Every structure is written in C-alpha cells, then in structure tokens.
Structure 1
C-alpha cells in the first residue's frame, strides 16, 4: 500500500525576509512608537514585488504595513491589481506598531490601528495581524488588550483579525491562551516560530500550535548557516498539531542573499510538510 503524500505547502514569505531587497524602506510616520527608523529606498518597488514573487514560485506573502510608500486609495488599488495579475495572495497584512494593552495613551490609539485595518480590507487581505501588547502580562493588561482586539474585529467583519506570540504581553503559551480566551474567538492566532527561544520553546509552541491560523516560519542561523535542526523541529511541532495554514518564511540573517536562503528554508518546509 502506497502512503499518501500531502501536497507541498504554497511557497510563501514574510516581507521582512525581503527587507534588503525592498531597499530597507520604512515609510515616514508608519512607526510612531519608534521601532524602526524611517528611510531607505532604492530597492525593488513594492508594486513590482508581486510579479517577482510569482517569477520565483511564490503564491502568497505577508506584508508589513510600513513598506507601503503611500496609503492613497489609487496606490492601494494599483497594488491590489498587481497582486491579482501575478496570482499572488496577500494572505496577511501586518500592523507592526501600536499597543492595545496601553491604558495611559502612550501608544497610537485604537483608531490608528483601525485605519490600518481599513487598508488591509482595501488590499483584499483575508486577515490582518495586530500586536497584542508591549508590556509584561498582567490580568488588567490582558483584559485591556482583549477589549480593544474584540472591538477592532467587530469593526472589521470582512477581516479575520489575528494576533501573534510577539512582544512582552505574550511571552509564553499561558499568556497567549489567556488572551485568546478573553477575545471569545473573535480574534485568531498567528504562530511565529522565531519569537520564543530556549529549550522549552518547542513545548510552548506545542501548547498553542493547534490554535494557529497562519504562521511566520522563521529560520534561525547557526555558525554554519541555517539552523536546519531547529527549523525541522519547530515545523514538526506545527505538523504534528495538524496545522494546514500558510507558512510565510522569514530569514533575516547577516548574509544579504535573501532569496537564496529562503529557497534553502523552503526545502526544509517541503521536507517536513511534503
């Protein structure tokens, strides 16, 4: 009897993995909390990225909000048309700033995040990721974040709003589960393979892998190149949980050959999932 092989995952990438390819561009005013300095440019234009992705065999990608050089409706329509022409799906729009757990008004407000969710809708993304919070988890902060995330989801029924195991509010599986329970299934989960570290990270990922609707499949670096052993094991946690969603690869190592390292990472993805 021949074993049935599942189809290889769609080749997908996170735009951060192409930061150098995109000229290290960060739009002015896009990161009000100061996570990245504005500037850069001179690389591949974002409007040309869909065609380049298609040429290299990619069928989907995740786009961080700060790569948009314009939020003018005409520009957004052009980018959406370029995606359609290339048959590349913008599977998740990533809002990389803001803090829904903030209760003192130091972070960009809920309306700021909502405006970027409007842009995700205009681009045709089926889901958008919102940061959960940038302070250590407490019941009050988890409550505050969940309230804002629920309201954002309710304001944008065309989107599946998701959050990620990222930043200080979600340092472990307990915090992720506690937050998602508070959102009453109105908010989903994006699993990032690179945001937790140490020998316990595989157990932590295993506790939340079944909740994941999409994924940033980050590959880490070892002294000799990609840390293939870690990548196999992290991807295996998702596979063993029955994960069947997108796997947007992330490479941000020192070697500037982003496309080459992404191809190496995809070989591991197809080995584990194919």
Structure 2
C-alpha cells in the first residue's frame, strides 16, 4: 500500500469535454477507439498540468486514451511539462482490456503491459487496471488473480504500483474485490469509486471495501450521494487522493470547484 497525504486530485476524464481527444489503439485493433472523439477540444493535454497548478491542484490522473501520441518523445515532453508545473501524476488509468477473457485475456494483458511501460515514462506512481469484464464466477475471478500476479511484477520492476477498481462484472461485489486484493497479497491496491455501484445496497457494499482504498474516484452525482460516500471514506480512515472525475458539460472548471469545496473538509 502506498502511503500518501490526503489531497484533492483531478482526472482528465473530468476535462474530457475540453480535451476532446480519444486516441486510437485498442487491444487487437491499432486503429480502434474506445469511444467517439469530439471534433475538437479547447485544451491541449500538454497544458493540463499547468492549468491544474494555476488552480492550486497539484495531483492528477490521466486516462490513457487522452494521450494523443504514445511515442517516447511525446511522453517525455508531457512528463517534463508536468514536472515544470509541479504536478504529481498519481495514476495512469488504463481504461481498456479484458484480463480474464477466455480467448483474448493474454493478448489484453500484454497490451496493458505496454501501457505500464508508458506510465513509467510519464512518471506515474500507479496504474489502474480493470479487474475483468467477464461475468463473476470462481473461474473468471481466478483468471483475473493470475493475470494481476503477472502485472504486479511488470509494474514493480518499473517502479509502479497496480490498482484495480470496483468496476465491471468481475469485481461487481465486495466479496470479489476482497478476494482479488487478498489473493494477490497486497500487491494490488484498490481505487475506490463512488459511482460504479448502485442500487439499495450501494452504501453497505461500498463500506465493505473502503478499508482497502488507496485512491478514490470521488464521482459526483448529487450532493447527498457525494457526501454520504465521503463519510464512508472518512470512517475507513482513507488517506489517499480524492480524484474528481465529473466535469459538468459547459461549466467544467466551475463544477470542479464546487466539488472541491465539498471535499475540502475531508482533506483538511
């Protein structure tokens, strides 16, 4: 587990409307895109660290598909811009791949390893990897655990820590999250997301995994939900970055400031 001070962070997903970028490249499809790109964006990714620092935010997360050029030259240029701005890259969010797919799991794992290598060039502390997209069964969970054991070694030799998230079918229950984290012996940490689970058991389920959280996607839906999830992290003595991931269309920066004000008492 990485010990980090409480602080507010911002994900480039919150800035998606401003960036407008969805770079090509999916497992098995170099030209495929994870989603439809916007026609244009008003914010260059190279300028994001500076814009965050100007607003007093010195920690961020970066979605892999927002990187317009995966060449070593560009990665080093972006890392230099981040360092010049005094901003820490907490995590590279690897938002694609299905580790426990019965046919393509190994292919996707190797694709993820390529992004782990790029994360090291960017100066990230962590990478966040999807736990698996297959329906939750003992077999699919076992495949995920085996794949994460490989990924954690690949990350370790590059000075990185691997996180996963309570997201997608394989990690859709507290028991599954706990099993993966415990079976990997602490080598995998948890990025705790407010918004990926829903339903009447949402808060009970989140409370069961909050103790494992090393990072947090403080995903705003409404103020009541947001504050209730923040209280869960406080009760669990969470000590990592609260990353804001929701940018309200048409008023991105204003909405982030409003969310930051709600989080402020929890990082004071």
2:231 counterpart of 1:230: no
What is aligned with 1:62?
61
Matches of residues 132-151 of structure 1 in structure 2 within 5 Å? 132-151=131-150
Matches of residues 89-128 of structure 1 in structure 2 within 5 Å? 89-105=88-104, 108-128=107-127
CA deviation vs aligned residue, 1:55-84 (integer Å, no higher than 9, x gap): 111111110100111111111111011111
In structure 1, the gaps of 5 or more residues are: 1-7, 221-226
Question: CA RMSD for the aligned pairs?
Answer: 1.8
Which of residues 23, 27, 50 is equivalent to 2:23? 27
CA distance in 1, matches of 2:96, 2:39: 18
Q: Is the 8 A contact 2:220 2:245 kept in 1?
A: yes
CA deviation vs aligned residue, 1:104-155 (integer Å, no higher than 9, x gap): 1278422111000000011110110011111211111111011111101112
Q: 1:170 to 1:34 in 2, by over 3 A?
A: farther
Matches of residues 255-270 of structure 1 in structure 2 within 5 Å? 255-270=249-264
What is aligned with 1:205?
206
CA distance in 2, matches of 1:68, 1:179: 29
Whose relative contact order is higher, 1 or 2, with alpha carbons under 8 Å and at least 6 apart? 2
C-alpha displacement of 1:273 = 4.0
What is aligned with 1:186?
187
Aligned length: 259
Q: TM-score by structure 1 length?
A: 0.89
Q: Is the 8 A contact 1:210 1:242 kept in 2?
A: yes
C-alpha displacement of 1:43 = 2.4
CA deviation vs aligned residue, 1:154-191 (integer Å, no higher than 9, x gap): 12211101100111111121111122122222211110
CA distance in 1, matches of 2:106, 2:186: 25
CA deviation vs aligned residue, 1:21-57 (integer Å, no higher than 9, x gap): 112x100224758641356433211111111111111
CA distance in 2, matches of 1:94, 1:249: 13
Partner SS state of residue 114, structure 1: helix
CA deviation vs aligned residue, 1:180-217 (integer Å, no higher than 9, x gap): 12222221111011101123211111111110111111
CA deviation vs aligned residue, 1:219-243 (integer Å, no higher than 9, x gap): 00xxxxxx11111110110011000
Matches of residues 145-164 of structure 1 in structure 2 within 5 Å? 145-157=144-156, 158-164=159-165
In structure 2, the gaps of 5 or more residues are: none
Partner SS state of residue 226, structure 2: helix
Q: TM-score by structure 2 length?
A: 0.91
Q: Is the 8 A contact 1:50 1:88 kept in 2?
A: yes
CA distance in 2, matches of 1:216, 1:236: 14
Q: 1:210 to 1:201 in 2, by over 3 A?
A: same
CA distance in 1, matches of 2:102, 2:33: 19
